[in-house]
Structure formats: C-alpha cells, structure tokens
A and B are shown apart, each in its own frame.
Chain A
Amino acid sequence: MPDPIVIVGAGQAGVALAAKLRALGYADPVILIGDETMPPYQRPPLSKKYVSGELDVERLLIRPRDWYAEQNVDLRLEQRVTALSPLNHELTFSDGSRLRYSKLALTSGARPRNLPAEIGGTLPGVVTIRGLVDADAIIPQLKTGMDLVVVGGGYIGLEAAAVTAAKGMQVTVLEAAERILQRVAAAETSAYFRDLHGRHGVIVREATALDRLTAREGRVAGVALKDGTELPADLVIVGIGVLPNDDLAREAGLLVENGITVDAQGRSSDPDIFAAGDCANFPWQGQRTRLESVQNAIEQAEHAAAAMLGAPEHYNPVPWFWSDQYDVKLQIAGLNRGYDQVVVRPGKRPGSQSVWYYRQGVLIAVDAMNDALAYAFGKKALEAGKTISPAQAADPAVDLKAAIG
C-alpha cells in the first residue's frame, strides 16, 4: 500500500479536500489531521448565530461525526505537527511520532492577530474569535448592560458588535483607519454599516487610535485612547485581522510570502506538497492573492485534490463572501481590489441597496445589502465575464435580468 495522502488542517479546506479525493475515486489511505478537539466545524457562525445561542455545537459540524469513517478518511484530532521534511516526505508531531506521506496538503488556515502584550493584549477579558474554544470562553462572560469594546471595524468586529448589542450590551467599536471596513469596502458600504450600527445603539469611533488597555484586579477594565479618552470595558473583543498559518511550510524551506505560495492548481514550491484556503497565496488575475473565505477554502481545496491525483484544473474563482449583522445580510461577489469607480443602486425593498465597483470601466465586484437580486446578477455577470455600465447599474429602473441575463 502506498504512503497515505496526509492533510494538515481540519477545517473547511481540509474536509473539502478529503471529500474531493474520495469523490474522484481515490481509494488509498487519507489522513486528516486537526489540532482541535471538535471534529471539523464551520467557523463563520461563531461570531454570529453560535455566540447568540441560536445554533448548537452539533449543527456547526461540517460533516456528521460518522461521515469520516464512512468515507474511509482517518480523522486524527488534537494532533500538532511540529516539523515537515519535504525530502523524507515526513511529518513530525509534538509527541515525537512521525508520519510518512505520498502527497501532503496544508490546509492550516489562519490565526487572529492579537494586540501586543505590552499594551495589555494578553489581559484576561481580552479575546479574539477564531475557534470554538474562543466562542465558548466568551459566551459566559456576556452580560446584559456590560461595557464591551470591539477593537477593529472589519467584518468580524462588526458581527461581534451586532450580536452583543442585540443581547443588550453597551458596545463601542474602535477603528484606527478613517472609516470602518476601509480595507475591504468602499465608503458607501462603510456608511451603510455605520448607520446600521448607530441605529442599534453601537458607538462607532473611527480614526481612533488605541493607546493601551487598562486593568483592575488582574482583568481588563478599560481602554485608553491616544487622545486621552478612557472608555470602560468589561470585555474587549479584538478583530484586527488574521495571519496565515504558514510557519510549518516556511521552516520546511517552501516558498512562503503572505501565505504558502502555490500555483493555480494549488501546488507549492515542492511538487508533492499542496496548500489551500486561508493559508495559501495563489495567482489570480495577474496578482498574488490570499483569500479568507469559505468559498475559497472549499473550491481551492477541490482544485488541489484534483491536482494531487494528476488531473489539474486552473483555479480561477469569482470570490464571494457574506456577513450577517442584525437583520442585514451582506453578500459580496468579486474582489474590489484596485477599484476606481463606485456606484450605488437602490434596492426594491426598504434598506436594500448595492454598491457596484469598477476598474477602468469594467465591473469587478458588488456589495449587496439585503439585496440578493443585485448580488445574484452581479455574481452572474462576473462569472460570465460580462459587465454592465455604471449608469445602468445605478439606475433602479434598469432590469438587471434583462441587462445581464
């Protein structure tokens, strides 16, 4: 029997990769390694319906517990890989054991950036939300009326603000940049969400620099801003982005730059090692790209699986993302990188609107707020390589179906 295909990282990408290997008819051993105690689960609900208590843990599972045995996928949890030897086709674990592979996939995801310890980033009561253990630690700390500060006005931070404000907490969001969502969205989308949060009683402070977190009795008690203001804080949720888990690959001598460098088939600089998902950096539309999304985790992993079995296909996605805040569903199609023009299209229902991004006159992305029709046709246009003029997109009288098909 050949050495197994080994997948390091049991998240969306790892599971999708294992499932695709089986779907493509690969019958030899597949080992899926994770470092958590739970079988692979969905992370997006952690900052949404899981924290709010609407979804219990079993329903987070990507596949039921018995799926792995049924598919003959050897799921090994609570295992930490400490070293990789491409030369020997071998992994070393924290307990000193070793495992040989025929081909290896790294689907190790990303980890949250933390605030520096020097400014109080490691105080009790300062938390990030990435894993189930993080969410489970936060839930019992949430109390109605408490002062909660969210550091970072990106999607994770705003989702955390929405879910805690809805539970009756006094929430302040601090954003260092000029506006929330600055890195990922146009000013029009930022304005929509600033207004939404304001209407739910969340204080959004933009262009606000954090100086340090203050403590009382060994636990975070407040946030000191650079302008001298001090805010009370019973809990601080930090959402300032993630870092790719690419250390294992780097230490093994693979090419790594903001994630593990792979080609359009998911192959790394070593021909028998592949990577997919948040930890992988791939060529897309002429630029190196690293995406943090479920869509990318699944689809890139499926492409990598095909390449591992010798049937490579070019991975050329239309990326898509979503966020849920209060009663607003945000859906994003495409990637707005390098946009030079934005138009707003009013939706057909109150509170629904979409923001259309253009680069040199060509549609590149759509943010749709409670406007699935705009999302649907924006995505369809991007997938078909079609565009719609900014004037048409902005005109609610123009039928998107007729214009895009």
Chain B
Amino acid sequence: MPKVTWILKDGKEVAAEVPVGHNLMEVAVAKNVPNVIGECGGCLSCATCHVYVDEAWYGKTGGPDDMESDMLEITVAERKPTSRLSCQIKSAPELDGLVLRVPYI
C-alpha cells in the first residue's frame, strides 16, 4: 500500500498507508493530521484540505484541473506553485513515498 507522509509546519511528521484509489484528504482526516479539515467531504467546495506537494513529487501528482485551480484561489494559506487540494489526489502505486506539506501549524 502506498505510504504518504504529511509534514506539518512545525516539522512534525504523520505517515500513513493509503489504500489505492482513496483520496489523501480522507486519510489525513482519519489520521488527525491537523488543519487538513475536508469539511465538504471531498467534493471540491471548501478548500480546507490544502497542501503543498513536495516539489520532488509534483511531477507525479500532477497539477490541479480547472475547477480545483479555481478553488485554490480561496485557500486560507498562500497558494504556491505546488498547491493542491488533497481531496483531489488519489493514492496510486506510483505515489508510494509521497510527501505533502501542511501549510498551517
């Protein structure tokens, strides 16, 4: 099962194995990763699951589609070149080892 690591702003790390096909917001919520909230349940309406994909991994996750890119306009933390809404990233074998940075404490 692909392993994903969330690195919090204070440097603390949370790691989890994510079943292929599940999105990375739902797992973050399950693992109590702080400030990945996912209020809308992953339907691209709240922008509360904002993460920065580690630059080394951005080539593999790819960038946001149009709707997601629009929603990234209202994230609480600053939008950066590797910003994604984690509900829109699905676990896949090629993402084993993925590192996401949570933009809040």
Which residues from chain A sit less than 8 Å from chain B, CB to CB? 42, 44-45, 59, 63-64, 67, 70, 294-295, 298, 320, 322, 324, 329, 331, 349, 370-373, 375-377, 379-380, 401
Contact = CB atoms under 8 A, between A and B. Distances in A.
A322 B40 contact: yes
A376 B70 contact: yes
A370 B67 contact: yes
Contact of A329 (B26, B29, B43): B43
B20 interface: no
Contact of A376 (B43, B66, B71): B71
Given A298-B39, A372-B71, 8 more contacts: A45-B41, A59-B26, A63-B29, A294-B39, A294-B40, A373-B70, A375-B70, A401-B73
Nearest to B34: A23
Interface of B: 22, 26, 29-30, 32, 39-41, 43-47, 66-68, 70-71, 73-74
B67 to A, nearest CB: 5
A363 to B, nearest CB: 15
B105 to A, nearest CB: 13
A42 B41 contact: yes
Nearest to A44: B41
B73 A376 contact: yes
Contacts of A64: 30
Contacts, number: 54
A295 B73 contact: no
Q: For chain A, what secondary structure do more than half of its interface residues adopt (helix, strand, loop), or is it mixed?
A: helix
A377 B73 contact: yes
A376 B45 contact: no
A38 to B, nearest CB: 16
B30 A380 contact: no
Contact of B30 (A42, A67, A329, A376): A67
Given A63-B30, A322-B40, A372-B67, A331 B45 contact: yes
A59 B32 CA distance: 16
A295 B67 CA distance: 20
A24 to B, nearest CB: 13
Nearest to A64: B30
A372 B68 CA distance: 8
B45 A320 contact: yes
A380 B72 CA distance: 12
Contacts of B44: 329, 372
Contact of A379 (B29, B66, B68, B74): B74
B31 to A, nearest CB: 9
B18 to A, nearest CB: 13
Contacts of A401: 73
A324 B43 contact: yes
A322 B45 contact: yes
A331 B68 CA distance: 13
A294 B39 CA distance: 7
Nearest to A19: B32
13 contacts: A67-B30, A294-B39, A295-B46, A329-B67, A331-B45, A371-B70, A372-B44, A373-B70, A373-B73, A375-B71, A376-B70, A379-B74, A401-B73
Contacts of A59: 22, 26
